[in-house]
Amino acid sequence: MPFDVDLFVIGGGSGGVRAARIAAGEHGARVALAEEYRLGGTCVIRGCVPKKLMVFASGFPAAFEDARAYGWQVAAGRFDWGAFRARLDAELDRLEAAYRGGLVAAGVTVYPERAVLEDAHTVRLAGGGRVRARHILVATGGRPFVPEFPGAGHVLTSNDLFRLEALPETVLIVGGGFIACEFACILNGLGVKVTQYYRGAQVLRGFDDEARGHVAELMREGGVEIHVGCDVARIDRDGAGFRVTATDGSARIFSAVVYATGRVPNTASLGLEAAGVRLGRRGEVVVDGWSQSSVPSVYAVGDVTDRVNLTPVAIREGHAFADTVFGATPRQADHDLVAAAVFTQPCELGAVGLTEEAAREVGPIEVYASSFKPMRQGFAGRGWRVLMKLIVCAQTRRVLGCHIVAPEAGEMIQLAAVAIRMGATKEDFDRTCAVHPTMAEELVTLRKPVRAG
Protein backbone atom coordinates (compact mmCIF):
# COMPACT_ATOMS: atom_id res chain seq x y z
CA MET A 1 0.00 0.00 0.00
CA PRO A 2 1.50 3.39 -0.97
CA PHE A 3 2.25 6.07 1.63
CA ASP A 4 0.25 9.30 1.70
CA VAL A 5 3.12 11.26 3.26
CA ASP A 6 6.78 10.74 4.04
CA LEU A 7 6.36 12.03 7.59
CA PHE A 8 3.44 12.44 9.95
CA VAL A 9 4.13 14.46 13.10
CA ILE A 10 1.85 14.05 16.11
CA GLY A 11 2.14 17.20 18.22
CA GLY A 12 2.56 20.86 17.27
CA GLY A 13 5.03 21.99 19.92
CA SER A 14 8.53 23.33 19.35
CA GLY A 15 10.15 19.97 18.57
CA GLY A 16 7.46 18.68 16.25
CA VAL A 17 7.10 21.95 14.38
CA ARG A 18 10.85 22.24 13.83
CA ALA A 19 11.06 18.66 12.53
CA ALA A 20 8.11 19.17 10.18
CA ARG A 21 9.35 22.47 8.85
CA ILE A 22 12.90 21.27 8.20
CA ALA A 23 11.78 17.95 6.65
CA ALA A 24 9.37 19.68 4.29
CA GLY A 25 10.91 23.08 3.69
CA GLU A 26 14.60 22.15 3.47
CA HIS A 27 14.55 18.48 2.48
CA GLY A 28 11.46 18.32 0.25
CA ALA A 29 9.57 15.65 2.20
CA ARG A 30 5.78 15.32 2.09
CA VAL A 31 4.81 16.18 5.67
CA ALA A 32 1.60 16.35 7.68
CA LEU A 33 1.19 17.41 11.30
CA ALA A 34 -1.69 17.03 13.75
CA GLU A 35 -2.23 19.16 16.86
CA GLU A 36 -5.38 18.79 18.93
CA TYR A 37 -5.04 22.02 20.95
CA ARG A 38 -2.95 24.97 19.76
CA LEU A 39 0.24 25.15 17.75
CA GLY A 40 3.21 26.13 19.87
CA GLY A 41 2.92 23.48 22.54
CA THR A 42 3.90 23.85 26.16
CA CYS A 43 6.55 26.49 25.61
CA VAL A 44 4.61 29.00 23.54
CA ILE A 45 1.07 28.45 24.81
CA ARG A 46 1.29 27.34 28.45
CA GLY A 47 4.91 27.49 29.53
CA CYS A 48 8.10 29.39 28.81
CA VAL A 49 6.71 32.37 26.90
CA PRO A 50 3.62 33.31 28.95
CA LYS A 51 5.51 32.50 32.16
CA LYS A 52 8.39 34.83 31.27
CA LEU A 53 5.94 37.62 30.46
CA MET A 54 4.38 37.06 33.89
CA VAL A 55 7.87 37.24 35.40
CA PHE A 56 8.34 40.62 33.76
CA ALA A 57 4.97 41.84 35.04
CA SER A 58 5.63 40.68 38.59
CA GLY A 59 8.99 42.45 38.76
CA PHE A 60 7.64 45.98 38.49
CA PRO A 61 6.72 46.54 42.18
CA ALA A 62 10.35 46.02 43.18
CA ALA A 63 11.47 48.17 40.26
CA PHE A 64 9.20 50.98 41.44
CA GLU A 65 10.71 50.75 44.92
CA ASP A 66 14.20 50.93 43.49
CA ALA A 67 13.20 53.90 41.32
CA ARG A 68 12.13 55.85 44.41
CA ALA A 69 15.50 55.12 46.01
CA TYR A 70 17.12 56.61 42.92
CA GLY A 71 15.12 59.82 43.28
CA TRP A 72 12.13 59.13 41.05
CA GLN A 73 8.69 60.03 42.35
CA VAL A 74 6.67 57.02 41.23
CA ALA A 75 3.74 55.03 42.57
CA ALA A 76 2.94 51.43 41.68
CA GLY A 77 -0.84 51.81 41.63
CA ARG A 78 -3.03 48.71 41.20
CA PHE A 79 -2.15 45.76 39.00
CA ASP A 80 -4.85 45.09 36.40
CA TRP A 81 -4.77 41.33 35.82
CA GLY A 82 -7.53 41.54 33.22
CA ALA A 83 -5.64 44.05 31.10
CA PHE A 84 -2.44 42.04 31.34
CA ARG A 85 -4.17 38.78 30.45
CA ALA A 86 -5.78 40.38 27.38
CA ARG A 87 -2.34 41.50 26.15
CA LEU A 88 -0.94 38.06 26.96
CA ASP A 89 -3.67 36.29 24.98
CA ALA A 90 -3.05 38.58 22.02
CA GLU A 91 0.67 37.81 22.10
CA LEU A 92 0.07 34.07 22.22
CA ASP A 93 -2.33 34.37 19.28
CA ARG A 94 0.40 36.20 17.34
CA LEU A 95 2.99 33.53 18.13
CA GLU A 96 0.63 30.70 17.21
CA ALA A 97 -0.10 32.39 13.90
CA ALA A 98 3.65 32.64 13.27
CA TYR A 99 4.06 28.91 13.94
CA ARG A 100 1.19 28.10 11.60
CA GLY A 101 2.52 30.42 8.93
CA GLY A 102 5.94 28.79 9.07
CA LEU A 103 4.44 25.34 8.59
CA VAL A 104 2.22 26.41 5.71
CA ALA A 105 5.10 28.20 4.00
CA ALA A 106 7.15 25.00 4.23
CA GLY A 107 4.34 23.02 2.61
CA VAL A 108 3.22 21.09 5.70
CA THR A 109 -0.41 19.93 5.86
CA VAL A 110 -1.82 20.78 9.30
CA TYR A 111 -4.67 18.85 10.89
CA PRO A 112 -6.25 20.69 13.87
CA GLU A 113 -7.35 17.49 15.58
CA ARG A 114 -6.13 14.60 17.69
CA ALA A 115 -4.15 11.83 16.02
CA VAL A 116 -3.25 8.37 17.32
CA LEU A 117 -1.24 5.45 15.99
CA GLU A 118 -3.18 2.61 14.42
CA ASP A 119 -0.09 0.67 13.42
CA ALA A 120 3.57 1.31 12.58
CA HIS A 121 2.68 3.33 9.48
CA THR A 122 -0.93 4.45 9.97
CA VAL A 123 -2.25 7.46 11.88
CA ARG A 124 -5.96 7.74 12.68
CA LEU A 125 -7.43 11.23 13.00
CA ALA A 126 -10.19 12.15 15.43
CA GLY A 127 -12.38 13.17 12.52
CA GLY A 128 -12.25 9.65 11.13
CA GLY A 129 -9.57 10.04 8.50
CA ARG A 130 -6.49 7.85 8.17
CA VAL A 131 -3.05 8.79 6.88
CA ARG A 132 -0.38 6.33 5.79
CA ALA A 133 3.12 7.59 6.59
CA ARG A 134 6.55 6.21 5.83
CA HIS A 135 7.76 7.70 9.13
CA ILE A 136 5.86 8.88 12.21
CA LEU A 137 7.25 11.35 14.73
CA VAL A 138 5.69 11.53 18.21
CA ALA A 139 6.20 15.00 19.72
CA THR A 140 3.33 15.29 22.17
CA GLY A 141 5.33 16.76 25.05
CA GLY A 142 4.37 16.42 28.69
CA ARG A 143 1.53 17.30 31.03
CA PRO A 144 1.32 18.39 34.68
CA PHE A 145 1.30 15.57 37.21
CA VAL A 146 -1.05 15.65 40.21
CA PRO A 147 -0.85 12.71 42.64
CA GLU A 148 -3.98 11.02 43.93
CA PHE A 149 -5.12 12.12 47.40
CA PRO A 150 -8.38 13.23 49.05
CA GLY A 151 -9.44 16.49 47.44
CA ALA A 152 -7.11 16.33 44.44
CA GLY A 153 -9.96 17.53 42.25
CA HIS A 154 -9.81 20.97 43.87
CA VAL A 155 -6.32 21.85 42.71
CA LEU A 156 -5.05 23.94 39.81
CA THR A 157 -1.94 23.25 37.73
CA SER A 158 0.47 25.57 35.95
CA ASN A 159 -1.71 25.27 32.83
CA ASP A 160 -4.60 26.90 34.69
CA LEU A 161 -2.64 29.91 35.94
CA PHE A 162 -2.60 31.53 32.52
CA ARG A 163 -6.39 31.37 32.30
CA LEU A 164 -7.40 32.70 35.74
CA GLU A 165 -10.30 35.13 35.66
CA ALA A 166 -8.89 36.89 38.74
CA LEU A 167 -5.86 36.51 40.97
CA PRO A 168 -6.48 34.77 44.32
CA GLU A 169 -5.80 36.57 47.58
CA THR A 170 -3.82 33.65 48.98
CA VAL A 171 -2.36 30.61 47.28
CA LEU A 172 -0.62 27.42 48.27
CA ILE A 173 1.88 26.12 45.75
CA VAL A 174 2.82 22.48 46.21
CA GLY A 175 6.16 21.41 44.78
CA GLY A 176 9.78 22.41 44.84
CA GLY A 177 10.93 22.31 41.22
CA PHE A 178 11.58 25.24 38.94
CA ILE A 179 7.92 25.59 37.90
CA ALA A 180 6.76 25.74 41.53
CA CYS A 181 9.45 28.24 42.53
CA GLU A 182 8.94 30.45 39.49
CA PHE A 183 5.19 30.71 39.99
CA ALA A 184 5.64 31.27 43.72
CA CYS A 185 7.75 34.31 42.89
CA ILE A 186 5.45 35.48 40.10
CA LEU A 187 2.30 35.43 42.21
CA ASN A 188 4.14 36.95 45.16
CA GLY A 189 5.28 39.82 42.94
CA LEU A 190 1.72 40.35 41.69
CA GLY A 191 0.49 40.84 45.25
CA VAL A 192 -0.77 37.36 46.15
CA LYS A 193 0.13 35.97 49.58
CA VAL A 194 2.11 32.84 48.68
CA THR A 195 2.86 29.74 50.72
CA GLN A 196 4.89 26.88 49.28
CA TYR A 197 4.98 23.26 50.52
CA TYR A 198 7.72 20.90 49.42
CA ARG A 199 8.17 17.40 50.77
CA GLY A 200 11.96 17.39 50.25
CA ALA A 201 14.68 18.99 52.32
CA GLN A 202 15.34 21.90 49.93
CA VAL A 203 13.69 23.30 46.80
CA LEU A 204 15.19 23.01 43.30
CA ARG A 205 16.48 19.47 43.65
CA GLY A 206 19.10 18.66 41.04
CA PHE A 207 20.69 22.10 41.05
CA ASP A 208 23.86 22.98 42.97
CA ASP A 209 23.17 22.78 46.71
CA GLU A 210 24.76 26.11 47.55
CA ALA A 211 22.99 27.87 44.70
CA ARG A 212 19.55 26.45 45.44
CA GLY A 213 19.93 27.26 49.11
CA HIS A 214 20.77 30.83 48.14
CA VAL A 215 17.66 31.04 45.95
CA ALA A 216 15.42 29.69 48.73
CA GLU A 217 16.79 32.24 51.18
CA LEU A 218 16.10 35.08 48.76
CA MET A 219 12.58 33.81 48.08
CA ARG A 220 11.84 33.80 51.81
CA GLU A 221 13.26 37.30 52.20
CA GLY A 222 11.04 38.39 49.31
CA GLY A 223 7.87 37.22 51.04
CA VAL A 224 7.32 33.61 49.93
CA GLU A 225 6.58 31.38 52.92
CA ILE A 226 8.42 28.12 52.17
CA HIS A 227 7.82 24.96 54.20
CA VAL A 228 10.15 22.04 53.38
CA GLY A 229 9.61 18.51 54.62
CA CYS A 230 5.90 19.22 54.24
CA ASP A 231 3.22 17.77 51.97
CA VAL A 232 -0.55 17.86 51.57
CA ALA A 233 -2.62 15.14 53.22
CA ARG A 234 -6.06 16.29 52.06
CA ILE A 235 -7.95 19.30 50.69
CA ASP A 236 -11.55 20.20 51.55
CA ARG A 237 -13.66 23.07 50.30
CA ASP A 238 -14.24 25.64 53.02
CA GLY A 239 -16.62 28.41 51.96
CA ALA A 240 -14.97 30.37 49.17
CA GLY A 241 -11.60 28.78 49.86
CA PHE A 242 -9.96 25.44 50.52
CA ARG A 243 -8.85 23.93 53.81
CA VAL A 244 -5.51 22.21 53.35
CA THR A 245 -4.45 19.65 55.92
CA ALA A 246 -0.72 19.05 55.83
CA THR A 247 1.19 15.89 56.69
CA ASP A 248 2.37 17.54 59.90
CA GLY A 249 -1.25 17.82 61.04
CA SER A 250 -1.60 21.58 60.54
CA ALA A 251 -4.57 23.00 58.62
CA ARG A 252 -4.81 26.31 56.76
CA ILE A 253 -7.28 27.91 54.39
CA PHE A 254 -6.19 29.23 50.99
CA SER A 255 -8.05 30.90 48.14
CA ALA A 256 -6.43 28.50 45.67
CA VAL A 257 -4.08 25.52 45.64
CA VAL A 258 -1.68 25.01 42.75
CA TYR A 259 0.14 21.73 42.19
CA ALA A 260 3.52 21.94 40.47
CA THR A 261 4.81 18.50 41.34
CA GLY A 262 6.45 17.70 38.05
CA ARG A 263 5.34 16.71 34.57
CA VAL A 264 4.94 13.33 32.88
CA PRO A 265 5.23 12.35 29.20
CA ASN A 266 1.99 12.83 27.32
CA THR A 267 1.60 9.31 25.85
CA ALA A 268 -1.75 8.18 27.23
CA SER A 269 -4.23 6.78 24.68
CA LEU A 270 -2.00 7.43 21.68
CA GLY A 271 -1.98 3.78 20.58
CA LEU A 272 1.77 3.54 21.07
CA GLU A 273 1.98 0.28 22.97
CA ALA A 274 -0.54 -1.41 20.68
CA ALA A 275 1.67 -0.44 17.76
CA GLY A 276 4.66 -2.03 19.50
CA VAL A 277 6.34 1.16 20.75
CA ARG A 278 8.14 0.54 24.05
CA LEU A 279 7.36 2.93 26.88
CA GLY A 280 9.45 3.54 29.97
CA ARG A 281 8.49 3.55 33.64
CA ARG A 282 7.10 7.10 33.53
CA GLY A 283 5.31 6.56 30.23
CA GLU A 284 8.07 8.05 28.11
CA VAL A 285 8.82 6.83 24.60
CA VAL A 286 12.10 4.93 24.84
CA VAL A 287 14.40 6.05 22.02
CA ASP A 288 18.02 5.67 21.01
CA GLY A 289 20.48 8.45 20.20
CA TRP A 290 18.81 8.93 16.81
CA SER A 291 15.38 9.46 18.50
CA GLN A 292 14.20 6.16 17.03
CA SER A 293 11.78 4.03 19.05
CA SER A 294 11.52 0.25 19.26
CA VAL A 295 9.44 0.42 16.06
CA PRO A 296 11.81 1.46 13.23
CA SER A 297 9.31 3.74 11.50
CA VAL A 298 8.34 5.58 14.72
CA TYR A 299 10.51 8.30 16.23
CA ALA A 300 10.00 10.68 19.16
CA VAL A 301 11.51 13.99 20.26
CA GLY A 302 11.05 16.44 23.10
CA ASP A 303 9.56 15.99 26.56
CA VAL A 304 7.66 12.87 25.50
CA THR A 305 11.03 11.07 25.58
CA ASP A 306 11.88 12.40 29.07
CA ARG A 307 15.53 13.03 28.21
CA VAL A 308 16.39 16.71 28.75
CA ASN A 309 13.03 18.44 29.06
CA LEU A 310 13.83 21.88 27.71
CA THR A 311 12.44 23.62 24.64
CA PRO A 312 15.81 24.31 22.94
CA VAL A 313 16.68 20.62 23.36
CA ALA A 314 13.41 19.53 21.73
CA ILE A 315 14.11 21.88 18.82
CA ARG A 316 17.57 20.42 18.32
CA GLU A 317 16.25 16.87 18.54
CA GLY A 318 13.59 17.65 15.93
CA HIS A 319 16.09 19.29 13.61
CA ALA A 320 18.60 16.43 13.96
CA PHE A 321 15.85 13.90 13.23
CA ALA A 322 14.81 15.71 10.05
CA ASP A 323 18.39 16.06 8.84
CA THR A 324 19.12 12.40 9.57
CA VAL A 325 16.04 10.81 8.02
CA PHE A 326 15.34 13.23 5.15
CA GLY A 327 18.50 15.26 4.65
CA ALA A 328 21.12 12.53 4.25
CA THR A 329 23.07 14.21 7.07
CA PRO A 330 23.08 11.78 9.98
CA ARG A 331 23.59 13.51 13.32
CA GLN A 332 22.44 13.16 16.89
CA ALA A 333 21.31 15.88 19.26
CA ASP A 334 23.94 16.57 21.92
CA HIS A 335 22.56 16.46 25.46
CA ASP A 336 25.80 17.36 27.24
CA LEU A 337 26.45 20.72 28.89
CA VAL A 338 22.94 22.07 28.38
CA ALA A 339 22.55 25.37 30.22
CA ALA A 340 19.39 26.09 32.20
CA ALA A 341 17.81 29.05 33.96
CA VAL A 342 15.24 29.29 36.74
CA PHE A 343 13.41 32.62 36.60
CA THR A 344 12.92 33.21 40.30
CA GLN A 345 12.95 36.64 41.96
CA PRO A 346 14.68 38.78 43.06
CA CYS A 347 17.43 36.64 41.54
CA GLU A 348 17.40 34.07 38.78
CA LEU A 349 19.44 30.88 38.87
CA GLY A 350 21.61 30.10 35.87
CA ALA A 351 23.51 26.83 35.66
CA VAL A 352 25.62 24.86 33.23
CA GLY A 353 27.77 21.79 33.75
CA LEU A 354 28.34 19.86 36.95
CA THR A 355 27.14 20.83 40.39
CA GLU A 356 29.72 20.86 43.17
CA GLU A 357 28.22 17.66 44.54
CA ALA A 358 28.36 15.83 41.20
CA ALA A 359 31.87 17.08 40.44
CA ARG A 360 33.20 15.71 43.74
CA GLU A 361 32.04 12.26 42.64
CA VAL A 362 34.19 12.54 39.50
CA GLY A 363 37.51 13.62 41.03
CA PRO A 364 39.42 16.35 42.86
CA ILE A 365 38.04 19.85 42.30
CA GLU A 366 38.52 23.45 43.32
CA VAL A 367 35.54 25.67 44.06
CA TYR A 368 35.70 29.39 43.36
CA ALA A 369 32.78 31.40 44.68
CA SER A 370 31.84 34.92 45.66
CA SER A 371 28.75 36.47 47.21
CA PHE A 372 28.24 40.22 47.15
CA LYS A 373 25.65 42.98 46.96
CA PRO A 374 24.97 44.05 43.38
CA MET A 375 25.57 47.73 42.77
CA ARG A 376 22.13 48.62 41.46
CA GLN A 377 20.12 47.06 44.27
CA GLY A 378 22.70 47.83 46.95
CA PHE A 379 22.41 51.53 46.19
CA ALA A 380 18.63 51.21 46.57
CA GLY A 381 19.12 49.82 50.09
CA ARG A 382 18.45 46.16 49.42
CA GLY A 383 20.45 43.79 51.60
CA TRP A 384 20.37 40.63 49.50
CA ARG A 385 23.41 39.23 47.77
CA VAL A 386 24.17 37.50 44.49
CA LEU A 387 26.28 34.35 44.07
CA MET A 388 28.90 33.56 41.42
CA LYS A 389 30.43 30.08 41.46
CA LEU A 390 32.85 28.09 39.30
CA ILE A 391 33.66 24.39 39.70
CA VAL A 392 37.15 23.56 38.40
CA CYS A 393 38.86 20.21 37.82
CA ALA A 394 42.02 20.29 39.94
CA GLN A 395 43.93 18.15 37.43
CA THR A 396 42.97 19.49 33.99
CA ARG A 397 41.97 23.01 35.20
CA ARG A 398 38.88 22.84 33.00
CA VAL A 399 35.81 24.64 34.30
CA LEU A 400 33.32 21.86 34.95
CA GLY A 401 30.37 23.96 36.06
CA CYS A 402 29.15 27.51 36.51
CA HIS A 403 26.31 28.55 38.81
CA ILE A 404 24.98 32.09 39.04
CA VAL A 405 22.29 33.44 41.36
CA ALA A 406 21.66 37.03 40.31
CA PRO A 407 19.30 39.31 38.40
CA GLU A 408 19.44 38.32 34.71
CA ALA A 409 21.42 35.16 35.53
CA GLY A 410 19.76 33.51 32.56
CA GLU A 411 21.37 36.05 30.24
CA MET A 412 24.80 35.57 31.81
CA ILE A 413 24.81 31.77 31.87
CA GLN A 414 24.22 31.59 28.11
CA LEU A 415 27.61 33.15 27.38
CA ALA A 416 29.37 31.23 30.15
CA ALA A 417 28.02 28.04 28.57
CA VAL A 418 29.83 28.83 25.31
CA ALA A 419 33.19 29.05 27.06
CA ILE A 420 32.63 25.95 29.16
CA ARG A 421 31.51 23.94 26.15
CA MET A 422 34.70 24.93 24.35
CA GLY A 423 36.72 23.48 27.24
CA ALA A 424 37.80 26.72 28.87
CA THR A 425 40.14 26.40 31.83
CA LYS A 426 40.16 28.50 34.95
CA GLU A 427 43.22 30.27 33.57
CA ASP A 428 41.24 31.13 30.40
CA PHE A 429 38.70 32.84 32.62
CA ASP A 430 41.51 34.59 34.53
CA ARG A 431 43.12 35.88 31.31
CA THR A 432 39.83 37.43 30.22
CA CYS A 433 39.69 41.12 31.06
CA ALA A 434 36.75 42.17 33.22
CA VAL A 435 33.94 44.43 32.04
CA HIS A 436 33.54 46.95 34.85
CA PRO A 437 31.29 47.66 36.65
CA THR A 438 29.17 44.55 36.09
CA MET A 439 28.11 41.58 38.16
CA ALA A 440 29.49 39.14 35.59
CA GLU A 441 33.04 40.49 35.95
CA GLU A 442 33.26 38.47 39.15
CA LEU A 443 33.52 35.32 37.01
CA VAL A 444 36.93 36.45 35.71
CA THR A 445 38.27 37.90 38.98
CA LEU A 446 37.87 34.86 41.26
CA ARG A 447 41.50 34.29 42.23
CA LYS A 448 41.55 31.89 45.18
CA PRO A 449 39.44 28.75 45.72
CA VAL A 450 37.13 28.83 48.72
CA ARG A 451 37.44 25.06 49.11
CA ALA A 452 38.91 22.02 47.40
CA GLY A 453 38.68 18.29 47.62
pLDDT in tens, 171-192: 999 999 999 999 999 999 999 9
**Cβ distance 175 to 198 under 8 Å?**
yes
Instruction: Kindly report the CATH number assigned to the domain that includes residue 321.
Output: 3.50.50.60
Residue type, 373: K
Is residue 288 domain-shared with residue 255, that is, in the same domain?
Answer: no
**Cβ distance 336 to 316 under 8 Å?**
no
Binding site annotation covers 209?
Answer: no
Binding site annotation covers 268?
Answer: no
Whether 33 is in a domain gets the answer yes
Single out the residue of 416, 412, 415, 387 nearest to residue 399, CA to CA: 416
Residue 362: its pLDDT value, please?
A: 95
Q: Please report the DSSP string for 292-316 in residue order.
A: B-SSTTEEE-GGGG-SS--HHHHHH
Instruction: Kindly report the CATH number assigned to the domain that includes residue 438.
Output: 3.30.390.30
Q: Look up residue 395 and give its DSSP letter.
A: T
Whether 78 is in a domain gets the answer yes
- How far is residue 405's CA from residue 181's CA, in Å, rounded to a whole number? 14
Q: Which residues are catalytic?
A: 436
Binding site annotation covers 184?
Answer: no
Binding site annotation covers 241?
Answer: no
Binding site annotation covers 178?
Answer: yes
Is residue 133 domain-shared with residue 87, that is, in the same domain?
Answer: yes
Whether 341 is in a domain gets the answer no
Is residue 171 domain-shared with residue 241, that is, in the same domain?
Answer: yes
**Cβ distance 218 to 344 under 8 Å?**
yes
Is residue 74 domain-shared with residue 188, that is, in the same domain?
Answer: no
Is residue 119 domain-shared with residue 202, that is, in the same domain?
Answer: no
Is residue 136 domain-shared with residue 273, that is, in the same domain?
Answer: yes
Residue 315: its pLDDT value, please?
A: 97
Residue 76: its pLDDT value, please?
A: 77
Angle between helices 178-189 and 60-69 (to 10 degrees): 50
Q: Which domain holds residue 29?
A: 5-144+264-326
Whether 289 is in a domain gets the answer yes
Is residue 269 domain-shared with residue 136, that is, in the same domain?
Answer: yes
Pairing status of strand 170-174 against strand 256-259? parallel
Residues of the chain with pLDDT below 70 are none
Largest CA distance in the chain: 75
Residue 257: its pLDDT value, please?
A: 98
Is residue 182 domain-shared with residue 194, that is, in the same domain?
Answer: yes
For residue 86, count CB atoms less than 10 angstroms from its CB and return exposed for 0-12, middle for 13-18, buried for 19 or more: exposed
Binding site annotation covers 10?
Answer: no
Whether 437 is in a domain gets the answer yes
Residue 1: its pLDDT value, please?
A: 73
Is residue 22 domain-shared with residue 84, that is, in the same domain?
Answer: yes
Residue 77: its pLDDT value, please?
A: 85
Binding site annotation covers 80?
Answer: no
Whether 336 is in a domain gets the answer no
Is residue 68 domain-shared with residue 133, that is, in the same domain?
Answer: yes
**Cβ distance 33 to 8 under 8 Å?**
yes
Is residue 140 domain-shared with residue 156, that is, in the same domain?
Answer: no
Whether 332 is in a domain gets the answer no
Provide the domain count of the chain.
3
Is residue 277 domain-shared with residue 179, that is, in the same domain?
Answer: no
Residue 75: its pLDDT value, please?
A: 84
Binding site annotation covers 239?
Answer: no
- How far is residue 13's CA from residue 39's CA, in Å, rounded to a whole number? 6
pLDDT digits (tens, 9 = 90+) for 119-136: 999 999 999 999 999 999
Model pTM? Answer: 0.95
Whether 123 is in a domain gets the answer yes
Binding site annotation covers 350?
Answer: no
